[in-house]
């Protein structure tokens, strides 16, 4: 049979795109198909509406990160509760979309407060082995972030850890600890008494002094205390410690410094701890710089039914082929963060008219923030152009979802056409986003925050499927990497 639709016909006349929308659930058509030989209009992408659903079958059971220049180990990275996840992961229910976005807003506000006043004049420009460890999309922990599994101690005990480029100190929950000081987790608490390589860091030593802003008062037996407070209101405190962290069967970090958590609060339910990948010395990246060169990369999977990876090390110097790179900057008021300079946005292939001054505060690349935050002028221009493009298809509007104010109801549609969205950074590095990087929860996955000229945040929704490579001088992006 042939398919036709007044909506599709009107759009075809505007864009020479013979797209036919399926709207059976809305009473328009019982079936839908694309015309044979249909050619997609430049600046638009058409995807199956089903592609926005999480998926119930693991489509990538054995992912392998790119092997280059000494990469020595690859670990499987999965959504913690998706079909690719190991059976040992938590079975706790996922938070609501509203709860997820509320937590995300708290984190974004915290980051923006940390870097407030760090305008452009305060942003400073700023040969190794490698190991690749698994990262999972941890939707169920309350922040839609990603987790890896590594082993801690001797003998090693598997730990499922949230990966965070926006924090430095790594930690796990440790015995002795009981509710409410420690939250419920699927795995047993790490027991320092059962590890032959464990040691508490003493007060007054160089390791304790190296904690900087994370140092707390000494605890019993003159042990070094730590405390970390996160942007979403969560916190952890306990004993700063060292032990063997095993990343893969052939890669272990001896004497890895981490927090042995004795009191946690907030949104950590369901994970065993956190793996900090920030820029300061206490992070995994800082502690292993002598082995892996201070470079790392990651690829965040697009949905729970696909997988990604986290790789420590790799080629030194210039990024490998296929990467689009931009300069890495830093903020004296927030040295943990990886910062780049966003310079422009395009929708449907057309650049938006946004003053360069709106982007002057720089952009934090953060795995812990869900949706990208833009200065108000940039977000207003993006929203206006996106809504205008979507109006041609007459998709039904849906109510706002939390901080997301441009939402649609695609129920009954077999295919959805979106204008492409591309983010351009200094030196011309460009992220042309896929559908999963444009929409989340049925809404445009961007929000306004801060002020024009203030800091923006590149969230994890927009980073999905790109390999993001970070070294001491640059940030690189490679599309379609997981």
pLDDT digits (tens, 9 = 90+) for 256-298: 999 999 999 876 767 889 999 999 999 999 999 888 888 898 9
Beta-carbon contacts of 105 under 8 Å, excluding residues fewer than 6 positions away, are 402, 403
- Where does residue 155 rank: exposed (0-12), middle (13-18), buried (19+ CB within 10 A)? exposed
Q: Is the pLDDT of residue 175 over 90?
A: yes
Tell me which residue of 463, 457, 468 sits closest to 106, measured CA to CA: 457
Neighbours of 40 (CB within 10 A): 14
pLDDT-derived band at 253 (thresholds 50, 70, 90) equals very high
Tell me the residue ranges of DSSP E strands in 314-429.
324-327, 329-330, 338-340, 342-347, 350-351, 363-365, 372-374, 397-398, 407-408, 415-419, 421-425
Query: What HEC string does 264-307 produce?
Result: EECCCCCCCEEEECCCCCCCHHHHCHHHHCCCEEEECCCCCCCE
Q: Are strands 397-398 and 439-440 parallel, antiparallel or unpaired?
A: unpaired
- In DSSP terms, 425 is beta-bridged to 342
Among the listed ranges 91-105, 316-330, 358-372, which one has the minimum average pLDDT value? Answer: 91-105
Fold classified for 324-478: Cathepsin D, subunit A; domain 1 (2.40.70)
Interior CA angle at 402 toward 401 and 407, to 5°? 25
Tokens 């981490």 correspond to 258
φ and ψ of 324, to 5 deg: -105, 120
pLDDT-derived band at 160 (thresholds 50, 70, 90) equals confident
Annotation says 366 is catalytic: yes
pLDDT at residue 244, rounded to an integer: 98
pLDDT-derived band at 92 (thresholds 50, 70, 90) equals low
Element (H, E) at 118: none
Residues 434-458: what's their mean pLDDT? 92
Instruction: Express each pLDDT in 351-383 by its tens digit.
Output: 999 999 999 999 999 988 889 999 999 999 999
- Where does residue 307 rank: exposed (0-12), middle (13-18), buried (19+ CB within 10 A)? buried
For the chain, counts of helices (H) and of strands (E): 8, 34
Beta-carbon contacts of 266 under 8 Å, excluding residues fewer than 6 positions away, are 230, 232, 233, 234, 235
Fold classified for 60-94+127-313: Cathepsin D, subunit A; domain 1 (2.40.70)
φ and ψ of 193, to 5 deg: -65, -20
Q: Is the pLDDT of residue 169 over 90?
A: yes
For 245, the token pair is 């962290």
Tokens 């709860």 correspond to 99
Beta-carbon contacts of 106 under 8 Å, excluding residues fewer than 6 positions away, are 231, 232, 233
Tell me which residue of 112, 113, 194, 190 sits closest to 158, measured CA to CA: 190
Give the sign of the dihedral formed by CA 372, CA 378, CA 380, CA 381: negative
CA 239 to CA 216: how far, in whole Å?
9
Q: Is the pLDDT of residue 419 over 60?
A: yes
Output Rg (C-alpha) for the chain, integer angstroms: 23
For the chain, the structural domain boundaries read 6-41, 60-94+127-313, 324-478
pTM comes to 0.84
Tell me which residue of 134, 112, 115 sits closest to 251, measured CA to CA: 134
Annotation says 405 is catalytic: no
Instruction: Express each pLDDT in 214-230 by its tens digit.
Output: 988 888 779 999 999 87
Q: Is the fold of 60-94+127-313 the same as that of 324-478?
A: yes
Neighbours of 355 (CB within 10 A): 13
Task: Find the catalytic residue in 168, 187, 232, 366.
Answer: 366
CA 464 to CA 479: how far, in whole Å?
9
Question: Cβ(79)–Cβ(304) under 8 Å?
Answer: yes
Residue 379 φ/ψ region, left for φ over 0, alpha for ψ in the -120 to 50 degree band, beta for the rest: alpha
Task: Find the catalytic residue in 104, 164, 243, 452.
Answer: 164
pLDDT at residue 41, rounded to an integer: 64
pLDDT-derived band at 237 (thresholds 50, 70, 90) equals very high
Give the sign of the dihedral formed by CA 347, CA 351, CA 353, CA 357: positive
Beta-carbon contacts of 270 under 8 Å, excluding residues fewer than 6 positions away, are 80, 90, 92, 138, 140, 141, 184, 185, 186
């Amino acid at each position: 049979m042939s398919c036709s639709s007044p909506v599709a016909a009107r759009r075809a006349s505007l864009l020479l795109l013979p797209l036919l929308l399926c709207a059976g659930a809305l009473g328009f058509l019982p079936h839908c198909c694309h015309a044979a030989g249909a050619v997609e209009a430049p600046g638009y992408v058409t995807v199956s509406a089903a592609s926005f659903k999480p998926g119930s079958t693991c489509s990538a059971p054995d992912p392998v990160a790119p092997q280059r220049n000494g990469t020595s180990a690859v670990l499987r990275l999965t959504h913690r509760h998706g079909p690719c996840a190991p059976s040992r992961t938590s079975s706790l229910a996922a938070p609501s979309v509203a709860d997820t976005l509320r937590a995300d807003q708290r984190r974004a506000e915290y980051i923006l407060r940390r870097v407030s006043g760090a305008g452009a004049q305060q942003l400073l420009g700023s040969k190794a082995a490698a190991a690749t460890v698994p990262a999972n999309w941890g939707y169920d922990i309350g922040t839609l972030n990603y987790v890896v599994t590594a082993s801690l101690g001797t003998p090693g005990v598997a730990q499922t850890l949230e990966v965070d480029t926006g924090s430095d100190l790594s930690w796990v929950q440790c015995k002795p600890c009981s509710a409410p000081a420690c939250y419920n987790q699927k795995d047993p608490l790490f027991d320092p008494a059962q590890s032959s390589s464990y040691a508490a860091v003493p007060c007054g030593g160089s390791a304790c002094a190296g904690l900087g802003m994370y140092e707390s008062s000494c605890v019993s037996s003159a042990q070094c205390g730590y405390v970390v407070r996160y942007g979403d209101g969560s916190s952890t405190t306990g004993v700063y410690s060292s032990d063997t962290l095993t990343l893969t069967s052939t890669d272990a970090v001896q004497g890895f410094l981490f927090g042995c958590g004795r009191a946690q609060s907030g949104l950590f339910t369901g994970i065993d701890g956190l793996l900090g990948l920030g820029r300061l010395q206490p992070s995994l990246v800082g502690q292993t710089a002598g082995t892996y060169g201070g470079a790392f990369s990651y690829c965040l999977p697009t949905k729970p039914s696909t997988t990604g990876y986290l790789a420590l090390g790799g080629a030194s110097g210039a990024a490998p082929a296929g990467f689009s790179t931009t300069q890495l900057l830093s903020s004296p008021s927030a040295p943990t963060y990886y910062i780049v300079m966003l310079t422009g946005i395009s929708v449907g292939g057309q650049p938006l008219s946004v003053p360069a001054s709106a982007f002057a505060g720089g952009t934090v690349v953060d795995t812990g923030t869900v949706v990208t935050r833009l200065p108000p002028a940039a977000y207003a221009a993006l929203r206006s152009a996106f809504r205008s493009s979507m109006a041609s298809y007459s998709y039904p509007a849906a109510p706002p979802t939390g901080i997301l104010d441009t939402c649609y109801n695609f129920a009954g549609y077999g295919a959805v056409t979106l204008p492409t969205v591309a983010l351009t950074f200094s030196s011309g590095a460009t992220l042309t986003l896929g559908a999963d990087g444009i929409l989340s929860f049925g809404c445009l996955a961007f929000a306004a925050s801060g002020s024009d000229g203030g800091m923006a945040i590149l969230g994890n929704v927009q980073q999905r499927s790109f390999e993001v490579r970070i070294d001491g001088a640059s940030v690189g992006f490679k599309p379609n990497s997981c």
